[in-house]
Amino acid sequence: MDIKECFEKGLLKRDIKDIRRSAKSIEAAKRKIEIAKKTFDVDILEESIINAYASMFHASRAILFRDGVKEKSHYAVYVYLREMYKEKIEARFLNEFNSLRMERHELIYGLEKSKLDKTETQNIILIAEEFVKMVEKLIGLK
């Protein structure tokens, strides 16, 4: 699916540009990072991963709010970033965002218990934190 299809199917919609909501979304992203760290510290890795993804998702929404776009799909957010920001966001961030999107889905809705690695989870949190900082700079909040 491409960005045009996302708009045609209503997964993305044009809206007014809203820097206030963009800033609030960055605040939410930072809260989610802190939750990811705290749950990591007490070995609740599943929640750490879910919250690391949530931080990346909120940071991504900050970009959309700034651009005047509303989302109705996590996948559509990834498509939007991939197509509109491929020159401004490193591929490693886009790949991690999409990978975590799928992992989060499996952790929340899957029936099988996932085997999680502490070192990998810690790296995910670090990448998410770096992504949030990069988005802050990208949208001019830092």
CB 27 within 8 A of CB 123: no
CA atoms within 13 A of residue 123's CA, in its CB half-sphere: 9
pLDDT digits (tens, 9 = 90+) for 88-121: 999 999 999 999 999 999 988 988 777 889 999 9
Single pTM value for the model:
0.95
How far apart CA 95 and CA 90 sit, in angstroms, is 9
- Closest CA relative to residue 142, chosen from 62, 74, 54: 62
The pLDDT of 112-131, averaged and rounded, is: 92
Q: Exposed e or buried b for every residue in 111-142, given b needs 16+ CB within 10 A?
A: eeeeebeeeebbebbebbbebbbbbbebbeee
pLDDT digits (tens, 9 = 90+) for 18-58: 999 999 999 999 999 999 999 999 999 999 999 999 999 99
Question: DSSP state, 83?
Answer: H
pLDDT at 142: 67
How far apart CA 77 and CA 83 sit, in angstroms, is 10
How far apart CA 40 and CA 141 sit, in angstroms, is 28
> CATH assignment of 3-138?
1.20.120.330
Delimit the domains of the chain by residue range.
3-138
Q: For the chain, how many residues are written?
A: 142
Residue 65's CB is within 10 A of a number of other CB atoms, namely 24
- Closest CA relative to residue 46, chosen from 99, 104, 124: 104
